[in-house]
Amino acid sequence: MKRFEELLHKGYAQSFEISTVLFHEKTEHQDLVIFETPTFGRVMALDNIVQVTTRDEYVYHEMMTHVPLFAKGDATDVLIIGGGDGGILREVLRHGSVKNATMVELDRSVVDLSVKHLPEISAGAFDDPRTDLIITDGVKFVAETDKRFDVIIVDSTDPVGPGEVLFTESFYADCHRCLKDGGVLVTQNGVPFFQGDEVTNTYRRMGKSFSDNGFYTAVVPTYVGGFMTLGWGTDDAGLRDIDAEVLRTRFQQANIKTRYYTPDLHKAAFALPQFILDLMN
Ligand code: SAM
């Protein structure tokens, strides 16, 4: 029986039983494999790191989108950097206030192969008239664009390989420049139990551009190690503390059925364990 072992964390591995390998090739930018498993549905990995599984994708995709979008309440223009599988785009487009979702993805192959082998993740989002898909490096886009956004969501790979540039001080400064007043940046920021330095580094680097930055959490079974931190950066400190009743009303009016996100969990996600707070000092 074939297995896929993710060796992201030193001295520790998560291992999947493989029923069938659906695709495996080196794209222009990274090694891409998509395989069927008996336990987690279909799984995509890039450079041997699990990116998404059809069984637990909803956790991360709901928390990376509905937290900033319900905090804002009226976002019309959203920028997604990375996110090639289309899960973030799918959830963003469920918000009626969104008029444009610009998605900047480095690797066209990730989009094409996700649509082919993982269609339920994007669920037609790439064909939505509000979607603008741009294939380029996210760093280049935020350095050059004159567009402005209410929310920027960085759904990147880990800070190794092509994703590394999306964790730098200059990248966060350019994201700050591309946000409208009162806008918010959220980022994929790893699992602090194993990747504590990502919390320390992001907190310092993002803090250079944003007057209110920190993290909120979600627990994604296949991003192993417990809490995952999602980076949060804005100049509107009130955004992290929207009244629970307001969130409940917005959630009800949006009429979005979720499997993980709730307004109460939204509020609770900003309460951080002490070991994560310690990493922010
Ligand atoms: N949810 C996953 C996670 O938390 O690890 C990430 C999923 S998504 C597949 C990550 C995407 O980031 C990939 O499609 C990859 O091609 C893209 N990416 C990596 N570096 C990038 C860059 N510099 N600019 C734009 N997209 C990039």
**DSSP class per residue in 43-58:** EEEETTEEEEETTTHH
> Hey, whose CA ends up nearest to atom 14 of ligand 1?
84
Active site residue 146: no
Domain extents for the chain? Answer: 3-53, 57-279
Q: Probe ligand 1: pick from 55, 157, 171, max atoms within 8 Å of CB?
A: 157
Q: How many CA atoms lie within 13 A of 33 on its CB side?
A: 17
Question: Measured in angstroms, how far is the CA atom of residue 209 from the centroid of ligand 1?
Answer: 23
Looking at residue 281, its pLDDT comes to 87
Ligand 1: residues with CB < 6 A are: 46, 51-52, 60, 81-85, 104-107, 110, 137-139, 155-157, 162-163, 165-166, 188
Q: Which regions of the chain are under pLDDT 70?
A: 1
> For the segment 20-50, what is each residue's pLDDT rounded down to a tens digit?
999 999 999 999 999 999 999 999 999 999 9
Query: Which residue is catalytic, options 77, 155, 158, 174?
Result: 155
Q: Which two tokens stand for residue 45?
A: 């990995």
How far, CA to CA in Å, does 175 sit from each of 156, 183, 219, 221? 14, 10, 26, 29
Q: Whose CA is nearest to atom 16 of ligand 1?
A: 107
3-53 and 57-279 agree in CATH topology: no
Please tell me the pTM assigned to this model.
Answer: 0.98
Please name the CATH architecture into which domain 3-53 falls. Answer: Roll (2.30)
- Position 62 scores a pLDDT of 98
DSSP-based helix, strand, coil % in the chain, nearest 5: 40, 30, 30
Q: Does the domain formed by 57-279 have CATH 3.30.360.10?
A: no
